[in-house]
């Protein structure tokens, strides 16, 4: 209470009670000396979402490729809308409107390309997931009370089309249809379930023909406007040794003799000694996929085929996770469900065969009795 009978506050807070009491004593002395003047508190600077996002990103110990991806999503999709908004003022309605607008804009941009399987949904999901992660950190730091990221189903990519699953004879046909130096890649992806970045970074030393295995310890990532970056697999579970069927091992034996780059560290699949660019690889892949009647098939779809085939063998969830390098069972369960669906189809086909056999037996019995 000041000499004017009004309540006044300090211009700042204090680290300790002793500091606060010292300030009060100083104010009392000024009042007694007649030199006191009111000091209005200075409003604390408002923390914007853009400022917090930058701080959050700097504090994270990220792989270079992950840091670049986050930087891209921030600069391209999040900060243009939210950079100057106070962190604590962003509402669920704003986030929902932003997510819907981003989804619409990226879908419209994708529609102008020649890729019907591209809708921009993955970019939207990743951008939303990043914003949600940033706000979760802000909640933990008590900078906001609750997160405004509450869009149901956001953060998960929506498939434009279901992935194509190849049968074993179709994988063989695809391997025969593509150029010879990529034939083993098709078989390795379609039976071994490696990710594209893992395939493209395989070296001669990673192949053990005697054991019939490939060792996955690295991947290469290609980001727009950046040089390729080699790093560990996507997850810790991605470090694995994959056992292969004999026909794939034989294909690798031929490939090593004819196509792999020289030396233990020579790339298994290369273009003039360097990594295949994913876009160039896709250009070579599409005609082969069309040639076997599967124009919608994509390179990554071979991994889907491999895991579906593995699930049909009766592999457990843990076994599928280990083979695929997954860290959660959700993906493995999808392949097991697909395998169960296929098993039902097989049973239905067997029923047709059995019905025909039973009908034939019944006719034979009728004739014998007649």
More confident call, 5 vs 82: 82
Please state the rounded mean pLDDT for residues 301-307. 91
Which residue ranges make up each domain of the chain?
Answer: 1-44, 49-140, 168-329
Q: What is the pLDDT of residue 346?
A: 56
Query: Hey, what CATH topology would domain 168-329 get?
Result: hpI Integrase; Chain A (1.10.443)
Question: Could you tell me what percent of the chain has a pLDDT over 90?
Answer: 52
- For 205-260, what is each residue's pLDDT tens digit? 999 999 999 999 999 988 777 788 888 887 788 899 999 999 999 999 999 999 99
DSSP symbol at 292: T
Catalytic residue positions, numbered? 195, 300, 303, 326, 335
pLDDT of residue 159: 58
**Rounded to a whole number, what is the distance in angstroms from the first to the last CA of the chain?**
118
3 state DSSP class of 220: strand
Tokens, residue 160: 């434009």
Residues in CB range of 317: below 8 A, 6 or more apart: 329, 332, 333, 336
pLDDT per position as a tens digit, 117-153: 556 788 899 999 999 999 999 999 999 999 999 998 8
């Amino acid at each position: 209470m000041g000499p004017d009978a009004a309540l006044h506050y300090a211009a700042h807070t204090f680290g300790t009670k002793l500091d606060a009491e010292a300030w009060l004593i100083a104010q009392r002395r000024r009042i007694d000396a007649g030199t006191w003047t009111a000091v209005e508190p200075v409003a604390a600077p408002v923390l914007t979402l853009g400022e917090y996002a930058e701080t959050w990103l700097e504090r994270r110990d990220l792989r270079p490729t992950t840091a670049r991806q986050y930087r891209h999503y921030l600069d391209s999709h999040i900060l243009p809308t939210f950079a100057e908004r106070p962190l604590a003022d962003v509402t669920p309605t704003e986030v929902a409107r932003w997510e819907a607008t981003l989804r619409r804009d990226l879908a419209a941009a994708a529609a102008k390309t020649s890729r019907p399987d591209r809708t921009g949904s993955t970019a939207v999901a990743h951008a939303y997931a990043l914003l949600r992660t940033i706000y979760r950190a802000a909640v933990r730091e008590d900078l906001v009370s609750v997160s405004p990221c509450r869009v149901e189903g956001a953060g998960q990519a929506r498939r434009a089309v279901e992935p194509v699953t190849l049968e074993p004879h179709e994988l063989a046909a695809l391997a025969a249809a593509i150029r010879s130096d990529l034939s083993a890649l098709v078989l390795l992806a379609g039976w071994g379930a490696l990710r594209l970045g893992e395939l493209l970074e395989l070296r001669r030393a990673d192949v053990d023909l005697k054991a019939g295995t490939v060792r996955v310890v690295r991947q290469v990532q290609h980001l727009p406007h950046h040089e390729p970056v080699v790093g560990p697999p996507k997850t810790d579970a991605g470090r694995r040794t994959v056992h292969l069927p004999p026909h794939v091992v034989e294909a690798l034996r031929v490939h090593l003799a004819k196509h792999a780059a020289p030396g233990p560290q020579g790339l298994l699949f290369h273009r003039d000694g360097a990594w295949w660019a994913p876009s160039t690889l896709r250009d070579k892949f599409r005609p082969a996929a069309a040639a076997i009647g599967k124009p919608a098939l994509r390179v990554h779809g071979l991994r889907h085929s491999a895991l579906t085939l593995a699930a049909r063998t009766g592999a457990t969830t843990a076994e599928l996770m280990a083979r695929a390098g997954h860290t959660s069972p959700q993906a493995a369960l999808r392949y097991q469900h697909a395998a169960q669906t296929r098993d039902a189809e097989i049973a239905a086909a067997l029923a047709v065969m059995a019905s025909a056999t039973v009908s034939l037996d019944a006719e034979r019995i009728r004739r014998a009795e007649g």
